[in-house]
Amino acid sequence: MGSPHALRPLPGDSPGEPAPGNGASDVVVVGAGAAGFAAAIAAREAGAERVLVVEKMALAGGHMLVSSGMLNALDPEGQKRMGRTDSAEQFFRDTFEGGGGIGNPELIELMVKESPHVITWLKSIGVEFDPKLYEAYSGVFPRAHKTSRARSGLAYTQRLLARARALGVEIRYRTRADRLVLGAGGGVEALVVQAPDGRMETISARSVVLATGGFGANLSLRSMWAPYIPDDLGTTYSPGRMNEDPATGDGIRMTLAAGGAVTGMEYVLAIPFWGGRMLDYPGAEIFLTTDGMRFTDETAAWDTVFSDLIATGTTDFWVVTDSRSVKGATFATKMQQGLADSAETFEELAQKMGIPLKRLERTFRLYNAAARSGIDPEFGRTRFLQDLAKPPYYFGRERFEVHYTCGGIAVLPDARVRRKSEFSSEAIPGLYAAGETTGGLHGKFRLGGSGLLDAFVFGRIAGRNAALHAEGSPAKPL
């Protein structure tokens, strides 16, 4: 990451009517999720005296709070324990090829390189990890870490919040960022926010980090950038209550208004999450149509599973696992809410699913034979962790929801926001972005387990460089 290039001035924005804030902040971070906390902590540790986080919701965590918590990272010792090997080259290749070969190689390389340091950093603030490494859904390779606690997303949030508070980071909840204010030289000078009482306030800032998440809950932006996504698809954050999802593209909107660039906005990822799925890893469950037939390779990328499902003429499906699988973070909640159920016998399973017993028996017989032999003549699946033969069986109906927007704000490797110009290295002085609000890294598709990694790596880079900009120093590598 080099020092900023020569910058082209932009006309300044007028603050208008908002009342002035109380003093200037070195760094203002918009969003209290994974990227936002990483940025705020890194900015403070890099020497920024006053770091302020503004969060429009009433609590911290964002999408991280409800996530499975799977976190991809290079871990030679962990792979050795599992009897495997991994490499930076393989991780890079999995990410680049998984995204259709259009992801930014420089961003991917940086994410991969920094991944082991993210694990070390999280451990240093009190996050405890399960020693086993998992393959996250659509993660391609078992390099995902998860916390030793059942709710990994909550575990991350609590430790990050505690670290931010210990460093003296100020957090304002129910405070919505409205727009950026640019000075005569085209750099960020302030952020206009709406306070909890509805008043508009201008907060002076030497640097601003946008960590506002994606735009999956904004139907207007979805219809503009990704019209192929049906409007009736909700989001995995709040299925059936999309108005509660904070991922409304606020950072993208503010960036465009300030003359910044976006990239890859048409690439939106939908996955099944808040229905009958009970595992956070592939290889130990079967997907069935509503009439009891397999229709896909259950370990394939979600876009493939989605296409295979749509080809059957249905929009939802059954998911079944057994007692030997390791249940995920949402298992207990889904059982309590009736989204998932159990059956002590195969006959009870068929009855509760409304599928003829002989048909279900045949489907499972073929599946278990494939699992035991490693050869799947129906769908070519090659990854099986177990057969499904030990009751009780656990099952539920599943559906797809919008999970992640791969496109967003265009950033340079040092997390500076690019201007909307033909000069790709030009950036808006003092403006940084990280996490799902950015685009370009993942290409068409994000590997499972890399969302949090992206947020943590580039959140830390954004926070550090925002702090350096605030004191007038050039950007430096982590």
What does the pLDDT look like over 309-346, one tens digit per residue?
A: 988 988 789 999 999 999 987 888 899 999 999 999 99
Helix axis angle for 88-98 and 105-124, nearest 10°, is: 120
Q: Can you give the pTM of this predicted structure?
A: 0.85
Band the pLDDT of 308: cuts 50, 70, 90: very high
**Mean pLDDT within 353-362:** 97
- The CA-based dihedral angle spanning residues 229, 230, 232, 233, taken in that order and rounded to the nearest 10 degrees: -30
Is residue 73 within 8 Å of 145, Cβ to Cβ? yes
Domain edges within the chain: 19-214+249-267+406-470, 270-402
Residue 15 has pLDDT above 60, yes or no: no
Asked whether the predicted pLDDT for residue 377 surpasses 90, the reply is yes
Does 270-402 match 19-214+249-267+406-470 at the fold level?
no
Confidence of residue 124 (pLDDT cuts 50, 70, 90): very high
Beta-sheet pairing, 268-272 with 262-263: unpaired
Percent of the chain with pLDDT over 70: 94
d(CA 116, CA 133): 13
- Taking all residues of the chain, what is their mean pLDDT, rounded to a whole number? 91
Spatial distance between the Cα atoms of 324 and 392, rounded to a whole number of angstroms: 9
pLDDT at residue 477, rounded to an integer: 58
Encode pLDDT of 213-240 as tens digits.
999 999 999 999 999 888 888 898 887 7
Question: Which pLDDT does position 422 carry in this prediction?
Answer: 59
Query: Domain 270-402 classified CATH 3.90.700.10?
Result: yes
The Cα-based distances of 221 to 52, 265, 275, 439 in angstroms read 28, 9, 26, 15
* pLDDT tens digits for range 388-404: 999 999 999 998 889 99
Per-residue pLDDT, 424: 65
Cβ neighbourhood burial of 68 (10 Å; 0-12, 13-18, 19+)? buried
Can you tell me the mean pLDDT for 95-112?
A: 97
- Residue 273: per-residue pLDDT: 74
Written in H, E and C, the secondary structure of the chain is CCCCCCCCCCCCCCCCCCEECCCCEEEEEECCCHHHHHHHHHHHHCCCCCEEEECCCCCCCHHHHHCCCCEECCCHHHHHHCCCCCCHHHHHHHHHHHCCCCCCHHHHHHHHHHHHHHHHHHHHCCCCECCCCECCCCCCCCCEECECCCCHHHHHHHHHHHHHHHCCCEEECCCEEEEEEECCCCCEEEEEEECCCCCEEEEEEEEEEECCCCCCCCHHHHHHHCCCCCCCCCECCCCCCHHHCCCCCHHHHHHHHCCECEECCCCEEEEECCCCCCCCCCCCCEEECCCCCECCCCCCCHHHHHHHHHHCCCCEEEEEECCCCCCCCCHHHHHHHCCCEEECCHHHHHHHHCCCHHHHHHHHHHHHHHHHHCCCCCCCCCCCCCCCCCCCEEEEEEEEEEEEECCEEEECCCCEEEECCCCCCCEEEEEEECHHHEECCCCCCCCCCCHHHHHHHHHHHHHHHHHHHHCCCCCCCC
Q: Percent of the chain having pLDDT more than 90?
A: 78
Q: What is the mean pLDDT of residues 406-413?
A: 97
* Per-residue pLDDT at 3 exceeds 50: no
pLDDT attached to residue 2: 38
Find, among 471, 454, 459, the residue nearest to 111 by Cα.
454
Where does 19-214+249-267+406-470 sit in CATH, by number? 3.50.50.60
**What's the pLDDT at 423?**
60
What are the C-alpha distances in Å from 478 to residues 113, 118, 207, 439, 456? 11, 11, 18, 21, 12
pLDDT digits (tens, 9 = 90+) for 175-206: 999 999 999 989 999 999 999 999 999 999 99
What average pLDDT does the segment 33-37 reach?
98
Residue 453's pLDDT is 98
pLDDT of residue 17 exceeding 70: no
More confident: 54 or 139: 54
Pick the closest to residue 38 from 470, 469, 319, 458 (CA basis). Answer: 458
Locate tokens 């279900």: which residue?
360
Once rounded to an integer, what is the mean pLDDT over residues 125-129? 97
